[in-house]
């Protein structure tokens, strides 16, 4: 082979390598499209975010589904029958085993009074408000004690306003509400008193810019990997619970019960080095709260069957985390349980009254809980626009 031929092959190889590098470093076409599309359309068209922007890091099933979007508008006031009238009707018309992204668009400010189930066989569903600044509301009023068609109590699994069993669910700019009457403060926690607004048991779900409102057990974060971003969660007692592995990022957590917090029959025991392994990054359960704000009266923030790590968050002086409730309020603490830990949180009243000791994490201990890697999110969490982009 001549020297000139070898030189041409080398130049071609270098050019090919440069093209590959540029492809990996250039912004994705979806990011460029954000400048031309309306922001709300753009959010629904996002593929999963990746650490370096290259396709090999994406969830393969998700990437395939994002190539085709089908938009279903749910407008109860549409007289020409070009839209679905209920969310349930729209969900029922999604084929089982669909490999496309179905986007259910709700009308601005409309209240959809219905109970919604998105079954396991219907993955890749998005529910969004057409105008997140005037969000649609999905509301129902069952509790765990409500009697079902068989005359038996629904239980917590059957009482949620919206239940999502399927994988790859996205909600954007929607209010999920359970408006069952709240119990009196003295009996704020009761057996079968749960009134969840949203129940999540599929994996790889993203909740963005939503409001979740209920009473006891407002958010049933049952199982799976979940990313809850820039959302408000409001309830009375024990209102975020379950065995999911979830990252709550930039959320507003509001306790809406008056008076003293009631005792719960569950609470985690004080943290110790022997328990650290139970909240290890590889575990399948746990809640990580990052840069969140906790407001309201004293209230329990979780249960003893799931660890909770709070980082860079602010808690009102009357918010009492579960583990501290045992020290401050003599709540029952079982012999076994997971733990509660803090990293760089601001809670002046509690810090002044109790030496937190081992409940304070070092950076090395906290690091696995400080980003989307906690939920393996680099392959499936959608790329969301920056705040100033959302305002345009």
Write the DSSP assignment of 171-237 as a string of letters: EESEEEEE-PPPPPGGG-S-TT----SEEE-SSSEEEES-EEE-STTSEEE-SSEEEEES-EEEESS
CA distance 371 to 378: 10
The answer to whether residues 139 and 179 touch, using CB atoms and an 8 Å cutoff, is yes
Catalytic member of 238, 258, 335, 378 = 238
Helix-strand-coil percent breakdown of the chain, rounded to 5? Answer: 25, 25, 50
Q: Which helix (H) or strand (E) holds 71?
A: strand 69-74
CA dihedral 199, 201, 202, 207 (to 10 degrees): 40
Rg (CA), the chain: 23
- Please list, in sequence order, all residues whose beta carbon lies within 8 angstroms of the beta carbon of residue 388, skipping any fewer than 6 positions away: none
Half-sphere exposure of 315 (CA within 13 A, CB side): 27
Give the residue among 321, 324, 307, 325 at the shortest CA–CA distance from 263: 325
Calculate the alpha carbon distances from 158 to 97, 145, 192, 255 in Å. 23, 10, 11, 23
Terminal-residue alpha carbon distance, the chain: 59
Q: Would you call 238 a catalytic residue per the annotation?
A: yes
- Please list, in sequence order, all residues whose beta carbon lies within 8 angstroms of the beta carbon of residue 150, skipping any fewer than 6 positions away: none
CA distance 47 to 58: 8
CA dihedral 60, 62, 64, 69 (to 10 degrees): -170
Active site (catalytic) residues: 238
């Amino acid at each position: 082979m001549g020297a000139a031929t070898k030189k041409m092959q080398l130049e071609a190889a270098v050019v090919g390598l440069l093209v590959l590098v540029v492809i990996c470093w250039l912004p994705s076409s979806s990011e460029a499209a954000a400048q031309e599309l309306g922001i709300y359309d753009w959010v629904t068209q996002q593929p999963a975010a990746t650490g370096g922007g290259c396709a090999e890091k994406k969830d393969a099933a998700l990437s395939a589904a994002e190539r085709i979007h089908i938009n279903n508008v749910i407008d109860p006031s549409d007289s020409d029958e070009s839209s679905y009238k209920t969310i349930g009707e729209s969900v029922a018309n999604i084929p089982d085993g669909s490999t496309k992204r179905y986007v259910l668009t709700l009308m601005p400010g409309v209240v959809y009074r219905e109970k919604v189930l998105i079954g396991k066989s219907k993955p890749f569903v998005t529910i969004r408000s057409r105008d997140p600044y005037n969000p649609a509301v999905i509301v129902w009023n069952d509790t765990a004690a409500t009697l079902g068609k068989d005359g038996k109590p629904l239980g917590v699994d059957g009482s949620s306003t919206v239940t999502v069993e399927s994988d790859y669910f996205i909600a954007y700019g929607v209010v999920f509400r359970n408006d069952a009457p709240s119990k009196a403060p003295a009996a704020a926690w009761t057996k079968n008193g749960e009134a969840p607004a949203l129940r999540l048991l599929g994996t790889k779900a993203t909740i963005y810019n939503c409001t979740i409102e209920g009473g006891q057990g407002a958010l049933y974060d049952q199982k799976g990997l979940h990313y809850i971003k820039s959302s408000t969660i409001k309830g009375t007692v024990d209102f975020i619970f379950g065995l999911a592995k979830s990252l709550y990022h930039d959320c507003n957590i509001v306790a809406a019960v008056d008076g003293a917090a009631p005792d719960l029959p569950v609470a985690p025991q004080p943290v110790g080095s022997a328990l650290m392994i139970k909240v290890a990054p590889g575990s399948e359960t746990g809640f990580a709260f990052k840069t969140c704000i906790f407001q309201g009266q004293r209230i329990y923030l979780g249960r003893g069957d799931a660890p909770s790590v709070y980082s860079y968050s602010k808690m009102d002086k009357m918010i009492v985390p579960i583990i501290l409730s045992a020290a401050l309020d003599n709540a029952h603490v079982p012999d076994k349980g997971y733990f509660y830990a803090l990293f760089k949180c601001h809670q002046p009243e509690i810090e002044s009254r109790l030496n937190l000791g081992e409940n304070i994490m070092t950076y090395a201990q906290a690091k696995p809980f400080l980003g989307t890697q906690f939920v393996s999110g680099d392959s499936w969490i959608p790329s969301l626009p920056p705040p100033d982009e959302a305002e345009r």
